[in-house]
Amino acid sequence: DWTPAHFITDTVEALKKQIGDRKVVMALSGGVDSTVAATLIHRAIGDRLYGIFVDNGVLRKGEFESVLELYGKLGLNVKGIDARQRFYDGLAGKTDPEAKRKVIGSLFIDIFQEEAKAIEGIGLLGQGTIYPDVIESVSVHGPSVTIKSHHNVGGLPAHLHLELVEPLRLLFKDEVRKVGRELGIPADMIDRHPFPGPGLAIRILGEVTEEKVRLLQDADHLYVKALKDTGLYATVWQAGTILLPVKSVGVMGDERTYEFTVALRAVTSVDGMTADWAHLPYDFLANISNEIINNVRGINRVVYDISSKPPATIEWE
């Protein structure tokens, strides 16, 4: 019978066999899947696993630093790359969601390739692919319809022509989390919500600028912190803020303001394919609205998204 402990023993054994004395390179995203996959591979081959974590400028507030610190604690051999400016330059003037995804996806591949080439004798590519990714890449993103081209680390294999190492390929998300816990990965990493590869770039509707990223990071940080402080974080599948390209009139003290609107999104879901808007308590919404408006200069209005998927999608872009 399947237990996380058995899975770990068997998988580490299988990884040793597959990899032998070769080296593995892997893109880490700060998410649950890549972290658990990397930890398993690290158990098998130690520092012959070379992790690469790119700051694309559209991560959550403080994410790059805190995730790198966690990787350090886990003993992973990870190089952090600050590539923020390259992404901001690439995103300048881009307003179409798919164009933004394309820029982020291709810059990411360029940077990853540069870094991978700099490591001598890389033989394999590690990936945190899980079972639903395998299915989804056939059904949703097959040749028939592409609703959103999910540009994430999944775009790598074809470009690199490396043998793949995918220890989570047969697992569902809840199993990945069980394995992660058994591996001793801290709960706040294991219980993280999914976060899209293009990050806040697809939550800033229209053109992405550094200034807008900072605004949204601040609002998002307050929102996620409030969800965690009230115990609501664990009750939703995914939550985040969206910066709307709309300014509206407000009043602050006795001054007129004309500032941006932020939308709060929280959904319940099993797999992200369908989702319901989360019925967050009115008190919570009232408090977080005040907190954001009072603390984030540049935002004077907060709205709550009450759309479910379908017909809406989880992200706005």
- Using the minimum distance from each CB to ligand XMP, give the nearer residue, 152 or 300: 152
Q: Is 33 annotated as a binding residue?
A: yes
Can you give the length of the chain in residues?
A: 317
Query: 115 to 174, contacts with ligand XMP by CB under 6 A?
Result: 148, 150-152
Tell me the C-alpha distance between 271 and 237, whole Å. 9
DSSP state of 272: S
Considering the complex, state which of residue 51 and residue 128 has its C-beta at the smaller distance from ligand XMP. Answer: 128
Per rule CB under 6 A, is residue 203 in the interface with ligand XMP? Answer: no
Cis previous bond, 194, omega within 30: no
The minimum distance between CB 83 and ligand XMP, in angstroms, equals 17
30 is in an annotated binding site: yes
Check residue 305 for interaction with ligand XMP (CB under 6 A).
no
Distance between CA atoms of residues 8 and 167, nearest Å: 10
Question: Does 29 belong to an annotated binding site?
Answer: yes
Q: In sequence order, what DSSP letters do the residues of 166-220 get, joined into one string?
A: -TTTT--HHHHHHHHHHTT--HHHHTPPP--TTGGGGTB-S---HHHHHHHHHHH
**Closest by alpha carbon to 56, among 155, 174, 152?**
152
What is the contact mask toward ligand XMP in residues 233 to 252, using x (rule: CB under 6 A)? -----x--------------
| Single-letter amino acid, residue 118 | A
Residue 102 interacting with ligand XMP (CB under 6 A): no
Query: 117-152 burial, b for 16+ CB within 10 Å, e for fewer?
Result: eeeeebebbbbbbbeebeebeeeebeeeeeebebbb
Question: Is 31 known to sit in a ligand binding site?
Answer: yes
Distances (CA, A) of 20 to 44, 48, 165: 9, 10, 12
Residue 61 vs 101, nearer CB to ligand XMP:
101
Q: Which is nearer to ligand XMP, 86 or 151 (CB)?
A: 151
Q: Is 257 or 313 the residue whose CB approaches ligand XMP more closely?
A: 313
Give SS3 for 59.
coil
Q: Which of 60, 94, 100, 101 binds ligand XMP (CB under 6 A)?
A: 101
Handedness of CA 9, 10, 12, 16 (dihedral sign): positive
Given 169, 192, 247, 309, the residue binding ligand XMP (CB under 6 A): 309
Residue 146 assigned as binding residue? no
Tell me the closest approach of the beta carbon of residue 174 to ligand XMP, in angstroms. Answer: 16
Using CB atoms within 10 Å of the CB of residue 53, give its burial: 0 to 12 exposed, 13 to 18 middle, 19+ buried. buried
Is 39 among the residues that bind ligand XMP (CB under 6 A)? no
* Contact letters for ligand XMP, residues 265-284 (x by CB under 6 A): -------x------------
Site string for ligand XMP, 61-100 (x = CB under 6 A): ----------------------------------------
Q: Which CB sits closer to ligand XMP, 272 or 298?
A: 272
Nearest to 131 by CA among 163, 165, 173: 173
Residue 225 CA to residue 288 CA, distance in Å, equals: 10
Binding site residues for ATP, as ranges? 29-35
**Binding region for ligand XMP (CB under 6 A):** 101, 148, 150-152, 194, 196-198, 238, 272, 309, 313-315
Binding site residues, as ranges? 29-35
